Amino acid sequence: MTKTNLSRYSIPKELSWLSFNARVLQEAANQKVPAIQRLRYLGIFSNNLDEFFRVRVADVSRLAAFSSTTETKEHYKKLLGEIQKNARRLQKEFDRTYLDVLGALRKKKIYLVNELQLSQEQHVYVTELFHRKVLPELDPTILESSQPFPDVMDGSNYLAVKLQSAGQTRYGLIALPTNRLPRFFQIPQRKGRRGKVFIVLENIIRHCLPDVFRGVFDITSADAYTFKITRDAELEMGEGINQSLIDKVAQSLKKRRNADPERFVYDKQMPNDLLEYLTKRLKLGKYDSLMPGGRYHNAKDFMGFPAVGPAYMEFKPLPPLPVPELQQVQGNILDSIRQQDVLLYYPYNSFDIIIELLKTAAIDPAVRSIHISLYRVAKQSRVVDALLSAKRNHKEVTAVVELQARFDEEANIDWARRLTEGGVNVIFGVPGLKVHSKLILISRQENNVLKYYTHIGTGNFNEKTSAIYTDFSLLTYDQEIGKDAANVLDFISYNYRRHNYTQLLVSPHTNREGLVMRIKREISNAEESAPAAITLKCNNLVDGQIVQLLYKASNAGVRIRIICRGMCSLIPGIQGLSENIQAISIVDRFLEHPRVFVFHNGGDPEYFISSADLMTRNLDYRVEVTAPVKDPQLKKRIQDILDIQWCDNVKSRDLDREQSNKMRKYKINAKIRSQEVIHQYLISNRVPASVQRARGRWNKQLVALTKKRSKKS
């Protein structure tokens, strides 16, 4: 198979991403999921879709508009059409699911009502609430054709208003002030009924809509319809030599707020005259996606729906667990790392351990310096607090702050300023490359020798997301890894320098090369009739070279397992191409975020954790770090976790050519919901018998495949 015909066996990444979001929507539609969690899945779906249009569809739109050849231009136009078709289908499914979830909530006596469903007592309460809390925050605009159209912010919710006044039709615009007011307001229940009642902000406004205009017009009728615009999120960075990077990013963020629209989502009940007026005034181009929907938009706010009702309406808590390596050594956390590598697995282990690591380093007299790379941090970041504490304790502290972490740019500008004001040496990374690595390097003076304590992870230093994302962190005293990490940080500071890395695979220098070499090694082993296998766990698998090599490996007889949460361009199970590849996706209460690569290596398996997905941008255009896990106990733990996930037959879907997202029917005589089973495994250190039997079958199949290949050769 040549590179030129790879596209025949590759799913466009944008369509694969929509298939991933369909899996999220499946969880919202699943009546076995607790009702409040179903509502929150709707919020996740909506938030995902917003980002999809802001980033991925915007990229395709630019390619459709500016491609140099007619053939290429038509290709991207066709892809845009497929994206819009699939997105509209998902929007309809979302609307159906939303109504079903409302019904499920009603059965639990939780009501989400509109302005037409209020009793007289509720009418009085909502009217008073509107005048007391809501009206002071509203700044309506009367739209005049002779005046410029007001700025419509990306992702914000608006009410387009149609007014009848003195026989004349007027149009107005109201921005929902959700940055100052909650989206959901609890109001009293009807007399004689039990339960909790909520009304959304826009329905409070609709209830008192004529009052918004404060009697300026003699209004005979008023109707309001929601809409929102999703804009291109690409930052346009100027090339001014004397302009600081912070200023460049800040100016680009201002441009983003009024960038080209990629999607216009509106209430399908909106009158045609109002819709035509808006689309004309907003200058929606021919590639923009007009998407009719339900009455409510920005369903991402459902992620923050109040925790109400009995405990069974939410997921049963899985409390954080102790880490075996940290319990075996008396003393501080640095003493434990010095004795043995430590593997953290969030959210099963607490992120507080990282805070403890930084706080210990901050006050340890022997610690000389702390280096860290920050991509995304929490709004109230204890990581930043610990770094400032270290500086107050006279440590040398350096923070690499990625100012172009998409949608966190403003927050990171603020953190960079706060760190700088606190005396921390702040570096803004490498021109043209995002710094996406998850590094901490602590330098400590021990017996007159500088020693390294290194953290390498798959997730961000963010307390909030560590509670809902699964991720690995490796803490090690391995000095070779420490030297490599120091060289990575030196490259970030002085990007004209090139280093030889002995342990780490580093983008953009050696990550691709190292992964390609290991896939080719498995191919060679298979061709020599030796056992060969690869397990990949990632968020996205779309890099053309990697996909092509995996197809070649399958043809050579390499057994390949893929656990991919999001985009997967590779198509498993095609005879003569990928029959030795299986791929699944797991969607459950936690977002599966680790990147783990396992290579059989002739019976001496290599295990890696990485900040990099198998995407061209991660391998070639970012600073990413892939680290080996060497400790036999930690390698076993990773393998056990991967095997449990592979046996998931409750929350996993098969990835196939049709992107059907069929629930996986993995027959192992037990129900395995991997995220919950892993919690039990980490308590007992015992793999369920059913998973052990499945692992045994896998190993036998690997041997059988090897013998079959040997006979053919």
Q: What is the pLDDT of residues 335-389, one digit of tens each?
A: 999 999 999 999 999 999 999 999 999 999 999 999 999 888 878 899 999 999 9
Higher pLDDT, 242 or 479: 479
Q: Which residue, 467, 498, 529, sits at the end of a domain?
A: 498
One-character DSSP codes across 440-455 = EEEEEEETTEEEEEEE
Structure tokens at 712: 């053919």
Domain identity same for 511 and 635:
yes
Domain identity same for 257 and 214:
yes
Q: Coil, strand or helix: which one is 118?
A: coil
| CB 641 within 8 Å of CB 619 | no
Q: What is the mean pLDDT of residues 86-91?
A: 92
One-character DSSP codes across 282-333 = TT--TTSEEEEE-S---GGGGGG----S-GGGSPPP------HHHHSS-S-H
User: Is position 306 within any domain?
Assistant: no
| Stretch among 322-326, 601-605, 643-647 having the lowest mean pLDDT | 322-326
Domain identity same for 87 and 179:
yes
Q: What is the pLDDT of residues 131-175, one digit of tens each?
A: 999 999 999 999 998 899 988 887 788 999 999 887 889 999 999
Q: What is the pLDDT of residues 252-283, one digit of tens each?
A: 444 545 556 678 888 989 999 999 999 899 88
Q: What is the pLDDT of residues 607-630, one digit of tens each?
A: 999 999 999 999 999 999 999 999
| CB 250 within 8 Å of CB 428 | no
Q: How confident is the model at residue 488 (pLDDT cuts 50, 70, 90)?
A: very high
Q: Which residue, 247, 268, 301, sits at the end of a domain?
A: 301
DSSP H or E run through 261:
strand 261-267
Rounded Cα distance between 30 and 39, Å, is 11
Closest CA to 618 of 507, 509, 485, 473: 507
Rounded Cα distance between 120 and 338, Å, is 69
Cross-strand pairs, 456? 439, 474
Domain identity same for 472 and 613:
no
Domain count, the chain: 3
| CB 477 within 8 Å of CB 333 | no
User: Is position 313 within any domain?
Assistant: no
Q: How confident is the model at residue 465 (pLDDT cuts 50, 70, 90)?
A: very high
Q: What is the pLDDT of residues 36-69, one digit of tens each?
A: 999 999 999 998 988 888 888 888 888 888 888 8
- CATH number for the domain harbouring residue 143: 3.30.1840.10
User: Is position 424 within any domain?
Assistant: yes
User: Is position 245 within any domain?
Assistant: yes
Q: What is the pLDDT of residues 528-580, one digit of tens each?
A: 999 999 999 999 999 999 999 999 999 999 999 999 999 999 999 999 999 99
| The pLDDT of residue 6 is above 60 | no
What pTM, to 2 d.p., does this model score? 0.89
Burial class, 694, CB count within 10 angstroms (exposed 0-12 / middle 13-18 / buried 19+): buried
Q: Which residue, 498, 523, 552, sits at the end of a domain?
A: 498
Closest CA to 41 of 539, 459, 468: 468
Domain identity same for 547 and 664:
yes
Percent of the chain past pLDDT 70, that is, above it, reads: 92
User: Is position 314 within any domain?
Assistant: no
Q: What is the pLDDT of residues 216-237, one digit of tens each?
A: 778 889 999 999 888 765 544 4
| CB 176 within 8 Å of CB 206 | no
Domain identity same for 52 and 110:
yes
Cross-strand pairs, 469? 591
Domain identity same for 285 and 350:
no
Look at residue 225 in the predicted model and tell me its pLDDT: 94
Domain identity same for 478 and 548:
no
Domain identity same for 488 and 513:
no
Look at residue 474 in the predicted model and tell me its pLDDT: 98
Q: How far apart are the first and last CA of the chain?
A: 20
- CATH number for the domain harbouring residue 538: 3.30.870.10
Look at residue 264 in the predicted model and tell me its pLDDT: 85
Rounded Cα distance between 236 and 252, Å, is 6
| The pLDDT of residue 686 is above 50 | yes
> What range does the domain containing 613 cover?
506-712
Look at residue 2 in the predicted model and tell me its pLDDT: 46
Give 395's contacts (C-beta < 8 A, 6+ positions apart): 361, 362, 367, 368, 369, 370
User: Is position 317 within any domain?
Assistant: no
Look at residue 116 in the predicted model and tell me its pLDDT: 92
Percent of the chain past pLDDT 90, that is, above it, reads: 67
User: Is position 137 within any domain?
Assistant: yes
Domain identity same for 281 and 418:
no
Distance of alpha carbon 521 from its chain centroid, rounded? 32
How, if at all, do strands 110-113 and 196-200 pair?
A: parallel
Rounded Cα distance between 153 and 151, Å, is 6
| CB 439 within 8 Å of CB 483 | no
Domain identity same for 266 and 382:
no
Domain identity same for 341 and 279:
no
| Backbone region of residue 529 per phi and psi (left: phi > 0; alpha: psi in -120 to 50; beta: other values) | left
> Which residue numbers are catalytic?
436
User: Is position 275 within any domain?
Assistant: yes
59-73, 312-326, 471-485: which is most confident: 471-485
